[in-house]
Amino acid sequence: MTSIERHEYDVIVIGAGGAGLRAAVEAREANLRVAIICKSLFGKAHTVMAEGGAAASMGNVNEKDNWQVHFRDTMRGGKFLNHYRMAELHAKESPDRIWELETWGALFDRTKEGKISQRNFGGHEYPRLAHVGDRTGLELIRTMQQKIVALQQEDGKKFGSMEANIKVFAELTVTEILKEQGQIAGVYGYWRESGAEVLFEAPTVIIATGGVGKTFKITSNSWEGTGDGHALALKAGANLVDMEFLQFHPTGMVWPPSVRGILVTESVRGEGGVLTNDKYADNEAEADRWYLDQDNNRRPPELLPRDEVARAINSEVKAGRGTEHGGVFLDVSKRLSAEVIKKRLPSMWHQFFELAGVDITKEAMEVGPTCHYVMGGVEVEPDTAAAVGVPGLFAAGEVAGGMHGSNRLGGNSLSDLLVFGRRAGIGASEYAKKANRIPVRESSIKAASERIEAPFSRVGGENSYSLHAELQEITHNLVGIVRTGAELKEAIERIAEIRKRSANVSVSGGRHFNPGFHLAFDLDNMLLVAESTAKSAILREESRGGHTRDDFPGMNSKWRQINHISSFDGSKVNVRAQALPAIPKELYDLFDVHELEKYLTADEIAKGGSK
Amino acid sequence: MARNLNMRIWRGNATDGGLENVVVEANEGEVVLDVIHRVQATQMGDLAVRWNCKAGKCGSCSMEINGRPRLACMTQISSFAEEETITVTPLRAFPVIKDLVTDVSFNYRKAMEVPAYAHPTNLAPGEARMEQVDVERSQEFRKCIECFLCQDTCHVIRDHEENKKSFAGPRFFIRIAELDMHPLDTLRNRKQTAQTEHGLGMCNITKCCSEVCPEHIRITDNAIIPMKERVVDVKYDPLAWLGSKIFKREGIV
Amino acid sequence: MSGVFSANRAKISERTLRTDRWWLQPAFIVLVLSSFIVYATFRAFENDNYFSGANSLISPFYSPCLSKACVEGASMVGTPIGILHIFGATVSPSLFILLFPLGFRLTCYYYRKGYYRSFWMSPPACAVAEPHKTYTGETRAPLILQNSHRYFFFAGLVLNVFLTIDAVLAFRRPDSSGQMHWGHVSVGSLVLLANATFLWLYSLSCHTCRHTIGGRLRNFSKHPVRYRAWTYVSILNHKHQNFAWISLFGVAFADFYVRLVSSGSISNFFFF
């Protein structure tokens, strides 16, 4: 084995999205040396795709807003499956996180008084989302990217090297989290550009790798969303919590391919889009009248809640009444004039016209469910973001579970990144300062290196692209937006089969920037995530938030008391039930008891929250 | 309706390479990135290409298509004539790594050279008040997705490698303009350093940066020329300089 | 080898892979600007056929006419400049004023783009390799003088005032006794009016104007009037390129028309 590149740091952050960068800033401010590792170029993380805004109860637009209201909204959105402490910390701290961004140069849209403007969003009682047009995610990423540069400039003045204390390793894939004596010792990976292997030694690792969308055929996520962090954590001995909960957006574009997965915002339906093809208005004429006279007409079906729209689309497609690409048509051109569409939905119109030549003022959009966000993720201690069971491992952002329960409210993800990114940074820093550093053994390095080399040593094996396509087909059809026990059983068997075949993936070409090679590792991660999701989903015999069972359509308070914990035994994922922590009295009392009756069991109501 | 598309794709690395002909299926409504992915999945498994969001929001899939710097995810196949061969090459202003992937680290080095935003020390988080009209100019520049197409097309560095050390490029001129127009930034020498450190004077405003910007940021008209005028205020115009000394006029510092 | 042919860049032998007719625009600009320069030079030195008292018309190339060499009646504000001779030839009065509009256009941010691309081929078109070995932009003499644009802008405004007065005066017609009467409209008066209008639009849409009127401010909210003015100028500024061309053609045409009239080639048609 040739000598490999080696680095030593105090904190390693995997992922340069919102959570990763926020964690890195915090760790550097604690005077630690930080490495940020990302698969893409710096600043390209999926966070840039977030449009709506960041939820924070600053009360700039409506003074009645406060953390308690935000907490209530979040718990309701998550159907009370949220870890109460995470939802509490999130609601309390997000205003400070937003204000802090402003001191780093962020320029949010303003109110008349010159404060940060806040907009309404589904599930939030008051206008709460700090935003910059429809590019809030980009603003967050850029602000933190520039904050990191600011810190590097400080270090440059002090130490003569801008990269003395914080360095970005862009386009580097982490293949393994290394442990020695049961605690974190570093990470192993390779440069995507050269294929050269790199060892990072550090007592703490923060996982902030985002989502798992690429496990599914149609997704709004980019290629990076391959569940790397979920899989790395599992393999390192951490747990995943509630992996059955995925947010599918019912109306994502399915065709043409250039816009596949892109969300058609709910406002399209709100503005009068017709979903061609129930218990609401049963004809278009009545639906049309509802917009003018809402008292005497039934509302059109497209304004049903997200989950119900999803179910309706799914049943149409599965009954063979869908389009040839597996979607349904969404048409705004029927009810609104071209002018009105362009005025009310400018970015939608522009996006589809520019990306696919589809003019939504003239023709229907072909839409279907698209995988958007995973609520499940690494099981963490809420206050420190420390991964349960692995000393030195932390997780924040989409990769961490618990915060959003069974369904995430729009706008809560950007604030989640900031709140828990910072907490992970603090948690990791405190741990790193006290930790015993254990050097990585040569035998561990050798094993990690061999795993990277493996796909090249096989000849004529499976093609990673086609295996990935097969996996996506299975997950989309069987573990998708609407599930049944039988389908999930089939999915589990077929995923296991692909997993077996994936051990035989071979790669053509060299190590030099070879996407086929990169996919071989991503594939392994996605298989673990898919297995975890399918196995959690088959156990949960109810429908709640992002988990919809056709064979168990209702929500059941008994199931609310249970989290599903996934762990990995080296060959397969095992899922077990674990009791959800009970809500303490002071938070319990924030709700009206009649509302709680919807979610909690009679026993729980009788107790009235834990003391 | 699928059709066969003739393409020439540049393949190679830092030492050697050339255009290779491929015929690939293209469907209605597809963009160049879609067909490149099809080539990758069916014919050239190791074809290197950068991409992320595939929605024109991240600026990763920058390349040159028929000689023009473009985002591959925003270039529709239907914008070319039926019989046209589409030629795809890596960005030609930066060192090539492999195939369509170039080394854009120049841009990140330049980003580190622009002094960061300096918030007033007497304003605690949450105390800042800014009016919408005062932030709008800077907000336009913050739309930048860092695709670096402007940097690629700028002849100052595209055609003169030696200028790279002294020239920040359009992407960072909009960054400097953003900060100089920021209502609260306290660093007052950005105009001077734009000229002395970042090479604003090298720009001869031929506007290619504005032409290629996928975000339609009016780089030249709204950032570079206003910055050139602000530089004149502090460096070349004796009257403006005198005015600033006598009246302590705002905006000319 | 430098530029796109540098050692570490992708090996591509073509200067550009553009498939469109990218050379068309620079070629067109060379043609049009060259024609204008030839014509304007000829007219500046011609020192004749620039004024028609009977039609109240004066060429924009010669107004304001400040030299004692001006034909009678052409001077509006007196003739502070004496008659100069160089190598026996009288210096044309045009030369004393033409410097200012020339300087204004030469340092104009739009024309700079135009001639850097077309005449200097730096670059000839976007993503087309330029022929020069070295490049220093506008950092040293003489191009550093481009920063004087604002002074030419203000001089241009003064000239615009004169040319506007010329246009107004053209709405007069002398009777048989030579007495001037207001309220008449001729083709010539409309030509001068159009010319003055285009020149104002060109000046007001200028980047320096936009900077001066409000662009240099850090906080618009503290200067509502200037902010309002800035927004209007910004709208015009979008069309600066168009105004640059229209006003160039306009001024050449106005001069040409006055030349035709004053040389007697055509007679100026009066509508009333």
pLDDT profile of chain A (611 residues), mean per 10: 87 98 98 97 93 93 96 95 98 98 97 94 89 92 98 97 97 97 97 95 98 92 92 98 92 82 68 50 62 61 62 80 85 82 77 82 86 96 98 98 94 97 98 96 96 89 91 94 95 97 89 89 96 98 92 93 97 96 94 92 86 64
pTM metric for this prediction = 0.93
Given this model, what pLDDT does residue C261 score? Answer: 96
Residues of C (10-69) whose Cβ lies below 8 Å from B:
10-12, 14, 16-20
Identify the domain boundary among A516, A537, A555: A555
Identify the domain boundary among A555, A575, A595: A555
Answer whether residue A234 is part of any domain. Answer: yes
How far is it, in rounded angstroms, from Cα A201 to Cα A11?
A: 9
Answer whether residue B196 is part of any domain. Answer: yes
Q: What is the CATH number of the domain that holds A284?
A: 3.90.700.10
Q: What is the CATH number of the domain that holds A491?
A: 1.20.58.100
Chain B residues with CB-CB distance to A150 below 8 A: 116-117
Average pLDDT score over chain C: 94
Answer whether residue B253 is part of any domain. Answer: no
pLDDT band at C8 (very low <50, low <70, confident <90, very high): very high
- Together in a domain, B36 and B153: no
Q: What is the DSSP string of A401-456?
A: -STTTTSPPTTHHHHHHHHHHHHHHHHHHHHHHHPPP-PPPHHHHHHHHHHHHHHH
Tokens of C85: 């001779």
How far is it, in rounded angstroms, from Cα C263 to Cα A153?
A: 71
CB pair distance less than 8 Å for B159 and C123:
yes
If you measure CA to CA, which chain A residue comes closest to B146?
A43
- Together in a domain, B42 and B135: no
CB pair distance less than 8 Å for C2 and B160:
yes
Given this model, what pLDDT does residue A283 score? Answer: 64
Contact A396, A23 (CB under 8 A): yes
Domain boundaries, position B180 = 105-247
Answer whether residue B252 is part of any domain. Answer: no
Given this model, what pLDDT does residue A279 score? Answer: 41
Cα dihedral sign, A85-A89-A91-A92? positive
Name the one residue in this structure whose structure tokens are 């992937």. Answer: B101
Which one of A44, A131, A209 would you mutate to disrupt binding with B, by most B Cβ within 10 Å of its Cβ?
A44
ipTM metric = 0.95
Given this model, what pLDDT does residue C82 score? Answer: 86
Domain boundaries, position A536 = 452-555
Please name the member of B16, B87, B199 whose beta carbon is closest to the beta carbon of C11: B16
Please count the structural domains in chain B. 2
- C225 touches B: beta carbon within 8 Å: no
Strand order in the sheet with A562-568: A377-378, A240-241, A562-568, A573-579
- Together in a domain, B20 and B145: no
Answer whether residue C141 is part of any domain. Answer: yes
Domain boundaries, position C199 = 20-262
Please count the structural domains in chain A. 3
Q: What is the CATH number of the domain that holds B226?
A: 1.10.1060.10
Tokens of C8: 């570490």
Given this model, what pLDDT does residue A153 score? Answer: 98
Answer whether residue B61 is part of any domain. Answer: yes
- Together in a domain, A311 and A362: yes
Chain C residues with CB-CB distance to B17 below 8 A: 10-11
- Give the residue-averaged pLDDT of C88-102: 91
pLDDT in tens, C117-162: 999 999 999 999 999 999 999 999 899 999 999 999 999 999 999 9
Answer whether residue A606 is part of any domain. Answer: no
CB pair distance less than 8 Å for B45 and A258:
no
pLDDT band at C72 (very low <50, low <70, confident <90, very high): confident
Please name the member of A58, A99, A256 whose beta carbon is closest to the beta carbon of B29: A256
Q: Cβ contacts of residue A295 below 8 Å, gap of 6+?
A: none
Cα dihedral sign, B191-B196-B199-B205? positive
Tokens of A393: 């491992």
Answer whether residue A461 is part of any domain. Answer: yes
Given this model, what pLDDT does residue A342 score? Answer: 80
**Residue B168 burial class via C-beta count within 10 angstroms: exposed 0-12, middle 13-18, buried 19 and up:** buried
How far is it, in rounded angstroms, from Cα A49 to Cα A54?
A: 13
Which stretches in chain B have pLDDT values below 70? Answer: 1, 248-253
Identify the domain boundary among A341, A370, A399: A370
How far is it, in rounded angstroms, from Cα B115 to Cα B190?
A: 8
Given this model, what pLDDT does residue B243 score? Answer: 81
Given this model, what pLDDT does residue A367 score? Answer: 86
Please name the member of A110, A139, A517 whose beta carbon is closest to the beta carbon of B131: A110
Chain C residues with CB-CB distance to B102 below 8 A: 10
CB pair distance less than 8 Å for B46 and A509:
yes
Q: How far apart are the first and last CA of chain B?
A: 61
- Together in a domain, B82 and B118: no
Backbone φ and ψ for A44, nearest 5 degrees, come out as -105, 5
CB pair distance less than 8 Å for B163 and C16:
no
Please name the member of A41, A107, A358 whose beta carbon is closest to the beta carbon of B135: A107
**Of the ranges A405-409, C69-73, C235-239, which one carries the lowest mean pLDDT score?**
C69-73
CB pair distance less than 8 Å for B45 and A162:
no
How far is it, in rounded angstroms, from Cα A256 to Cα A512?
A: 32
Please name the member of B27, B45, B52 whose beta carbon is closest to the beta carbon of A44: B52
Tokens of C212: 């001066």
- C113 touches B: beta carbon within 8 Å: yes
Identify the domain boundary among B72, B102, B132: B102
Given this model, what pLDDT does residue A444 score? Answer: 96
Answer whether residue A141 is part of any domain. Answer: yes
Given this model, what pLDDT does residue B253 score? Answer: 40
Strand partners, A274: A331
CB pair distance less than 8 Å for A49 and B57:
yes
Residues of C (157-196) whose Cβ lies below 8 Å from B:
none
Answer whether residue C2 is part of any domain. Answer: no
CB pair distance less than 8 Å for A355 and B55:
yes
Strand order in the sheet with A5-8: A5-8, A197-201, A183-191, A172-180
- Neighbours of C, requiring at least 3 CB pairs below 8 Å, are B
